[in-house]
Structure 1
Amino acid sequence: MMPRIGAVILAAGTASRMGRQKLLLPLGDKPVLAHVLAVVSQIPFADRLMIIGEPQQELAALGSQYGIRSVYNPDRISGQATSIAKAISHLDGEVDGVLFLPGDQPLITADLVQALLSCFGENANNRRIVVPFHKGQYRSPVLFGAAWLKELAALSGDKGGREIIRNHPEVIAAVEWFEEASFRDADTWDDYLELVQYLHKY
């Protein structure tokens, strides 16, 4: 039986480096965030949800267009850990693992997501953490087996799951991925402009 995997899109950041709400900026024919939503919506996850900040109504409406429910995080200023904890508490039913996807990584592909899911399924271990590996570095999105959900929910600040990954190399299953575009994000205005140019080129 295939593992039950939940998908969580992290879209509650304050965009402090960008200085504006980056997830709703236009990129090609849809907003930055919509590219991630479109990928998640086409894969049969056991549950899909998005943790959002402001503007709450616009972000939630965008999620609903793709059949993805939204959970507002009023504590997002305290760091990404609050979004992870809120997501875990709102997952619908028991899951074998959770894939956490950044909302500002718009060129992520369904092929990459499927490769992570396949790797987790082959290992069949709820302590496994599946991470894409590109040019000598671990990247996002990351799939945590269910055994880590309690520890993830107890994180604080802006660490996300990086600390768990660093402290437990023995449980990491790395999926080597050669395509760089999937890992481009929109942290800064220059990053965003590069994404626009990349899509225009290809």
Structure 2
Amino acid sequence: MNKHMIYLAAGNSRRFGTNKLLHVYRGKHLYRYGLDMLEELCYKRSDCILYVVSQYREILEQAKKGGVQVVYSPDSYKGMSYTIEAALHAVGDIPEEDFLVFVVADQPGLTEYTVEKLLAAADFGVETASVRYGSTPGSPTLFSARLMPELLALKGDEGGRKVIRNHPCVYIEAESAEELYDIDTPEEGGML
């Protein structure tokens, strides 16, 4: 059973004002934190396929250098469902026992350890899983490939949470709240 790791690096950064993923945060571009971690993780695992989905060519060009699957998503500006749809079309037909794992690109504190715990939840009978800290759910999220039609049916800015609400979910505890912290404004990231 393969894990199709989908790195969502396509957001519009409306609250940030410019493309936040290309801003330097603590010495490197924001999107690189998750991408570097996932590249290393997938390098160690034979059951892991990494896709980087973005509307930004610079991010895709850099990701391609790492040997990952890149997915251009020009309609991402219309909402999250368009990015998910582009990713799932790139993944294509996969066995029902496979899993889809969605990781967002604006959580620089996410650790490989927590992602490994999420991947360990991928087992027969599991429909969805999500990382959380305390009672606060977050990203990344995991879905059985059997739920691909429901993910493809999302509209506008709907994301995977809509699907999770309709299925049993295994929750994986993050080591700290910082792992789930996403940067949405320059002030949050100390990037002024």
Q: Give the equivalent residue in structure 1 for 2:179.
A: 182
Q: Supply the distance in 2 between the matched residues of 1:183 and 1:31 (Cα, whole angstroms).
A: 18
Q: Structure 1 residue 106 and structure 2 residue 108: aligned?
A: yes
Structure 1 gaps of 5+ residues are 197-202
* 1:89-134 CA distance string (max 9 Å, x none): 101662511110001111111001000011223xx22x52011121
Aligned residues: 185
SS at match of 1:42: helix
Q: Give the equivalent residue in structure 1 for 2:83.
A: 83
Q: Supply the distance in 1 between the matched residues of 2:108 and 2:38 (Cα, whole angstroms).
A: 11
Please, which moves more after superposition, 28-37 or 78-87?
28-37
* 1:11-56 CA distance string (max 9 Å, x none): 11111110101111112332110111111111225321111113x1
Shift of 1:79: 0.3
Name which of 43, 46, 49 aligns with 2:48. 46
CA contact (8 A) 2:55 2:72 kept: yes
Name which of 7, 10, 13 aligns with 1:9. 7
CA contact (8 A) 1:37 1:66 kept: no
Shift of 1:191: 1.5
SS at match of 2:38: helix
Q: Supply the distance in 2 between the matched residues of 1:13 and 1:146 (Cα, whole angstroms).
A: 24
Q: Give the equivalent residue in structure 2 for 1:61.
A: 61
Q: Supply the distance in 2 between the matched residues of 1:68 and 1:37 (Cα, whole angstroms).
A: 10
CA contact (8 A) 1:63 1:70 kept: yes
Q: Which amino acid aligns with 1:118?
A: A
Q: Give the equivalent residue in structure 2 for 1:146.
A: 145
Q: Supply the distance in 2 between the matched residues of 1:178 and 1:40 (Cα, whole angstroms).
A: 17
**RMSD of Structure 2 on Structure 1 (CA):** 1.6
Q: Supply the distance in 1 between the matched residues of 2:78 and 2:94 (Cα, whole angstroms).
A: 27
Identify, as 1 or 2, the structure richer in helix: 1
Q: Supply the distance in 1 between the matched residues of 2:107 and 2:36 (Cα, whole angstroms).
A: 12
Q: Give the equivalent residue in structure 2 for 1:22.
A: 20
Q: Which amino acid aligns with 1:129?
A: T
CA contact (8 A) 2:114 2:175 kept: no
Q: Give the equivalent residue in structure 2 for 1:199.
A: none
With over 3 angstroms needed to count, the CA separation of the structure-2 counterparts of 1:65 and 1:182, relative to structure 1, is farther
CA contact (8 A) 1:47 1:92 kept: no
Q: Structure 1 residue 137 and structure 2 residue 166: aligned?
A: no
* 1:127-156 CA distance string (max 9 Å, x none): 520111212121100011111111101111
Q: Could you tell me the TM-score, scaled by structure 2's length?
A: 0.89
Over the matched positions of the two proteins, sequence identity in percent amounts to 28
SS at match of 1:71: strand
Please, which moves more after superposition, 74-83 or 36-45?
36-45
Q: Give the equivalent residue in structure 2 for 1:161.
A: 160
CA contact (8 A) 1:14 1:53 kept: no
